[in-house]
Each structure stands twice: as structure tokens, then as C-alpha cells.
Structure 1
């Protein structure tokens, strides 16, 4: 959703991320396959279901295969 870990951590700390409907404020919170993330980003809200993880960091294209888009709201 964002390019850098620091940007992702900032979204969490500022309250723009929910995990399974609960606002998350700790960037180190572990997530697991099946968790639903709600992310408020750039005047939209994206709802994603985590479907898997990579062993190592990859590019954006490989990351797209690790979640299912459940919805987007403006």
C-alpha cells in the first residue's frame, strides 16, 4: 500500500489501520493469514484480507498475490 516501512508504521501509529475491525497503534503487531486489514489511505479506505506471506521481501507485483481486495470506499 505504501513504499517504505516507515510510511506503513506511520499509518499504524496515527490510527489509519484496523486489524479485524480493531484500531491498531503498534507497528510491530503480528498479523496472520485470514486477518482483514482496513487501511485509510489517500482519501480512500481499502479493505484487504491477508492470504499469505513471502519468505523474503519482494516487489510490488509479488506482494499483490498475498492479499485479496475486499473493497474500496471513498
Structure 2
């Protein structure tokens, strides 16, 4: 099965087009080699990809026939992503909320300078 179809089938990406874009950006590797979307995946392969600031490591256990339900995903893959990466993401979220509460508007120039001093990035959304 193709790597883009596999990652779509086990519900890491919402669409196959999103997986294809990640492959074009060299964010997906299979057994340590950068993979194209058409790369074939076999059982016991190790897929590494970066999504939402987390580097996931997934081992292929079996190949699904088509997209599977969320409860059946563990039959086809083994998630080897370290727990520290998820903890680091939570800490990052908490550190951003500590300085400015969500929904308080855009930061002022002084706020931006203070944040740049500490090395934080601010989203203007």
C-alpha cells in the first residue's frame, strides 16, 4: 500500500492530499529515507513524520483494506512516539497562556518586544 494511503487509512491525516503535501515537503520518512507519496509500505516498516510540532514514529503492523474506524487503528500500527514530545507540547501551550490570556487581543509593541526578548513567537490570529 502507498504511504499516503496508509497514513490516511490509519487516520493521522484527514485527506490523502494533506499526506501528499507533507511528502512534498520531505516531512515523511520510511525506514530513515525520505518518502514520496507513492512509496510502498510493508509490515514492519517504520514511518516517521512531523505534524503539529510533534514528530510521530509509527511501526506498520498490518495493511488495512481501506480507511478504518478510530477504535480499529491499533490493529494496523504501533505508535512509538515518546511521551515526552506530547508533554513538551503541553508545556509550550501553557507557557504561551501564562503571559497573555486567550482572547485579550493583539499584543502591543511593548508586549512584542518583551516576547522577542524571551524568544517566544506570537500568533496574530
Q: TM-score range by the shorter chain?
A: 0.7 to 0.9
Structure of higher RCO (CA pairs closer than 8 Å, 6+ residues apart): 1
Structure 2, unpaired ranges of 5+: 1-11, 89-125
User: CA offset at residue 9 of structure 1?
Assistant: 1.0
Q: Which whole-Å CA distance do the structure 2 matches of 1:15 and 1:35 have between them?
A: 17
1:50 and 2:57 aligned: no
Count matched residues.
Answer: 73
Name the structure with the higher strand share: 1
Distance 1:9 1:64 in 2: 23
Q: Hey, what does 2:73 align to over in structure 1?
A: 63
Matched residue, 2:32: 21
Offset of residue 57 of structure 1: 2.5
Over 6 Å off, 4+ runs: none
Per-residue deviation at 1:38? 0.4
Specify the structure having the higher radius of gyration (Cα).
Answer: 2
TM-score w.r.t. the length of structure 2 is 0.53
Structure 1, unmatched stretches of 5+, are: none
TM-score by length of 1: 0.85
Cross-structure match for 2:115: none
Aligned equivalent of 2:20 = 9
Calculate the aligned-residue CA RMSD, in Å: 1.5
Q: Deviations over 1:29-61 (max 9, x none)?
A: 101000000011111101010000122322233
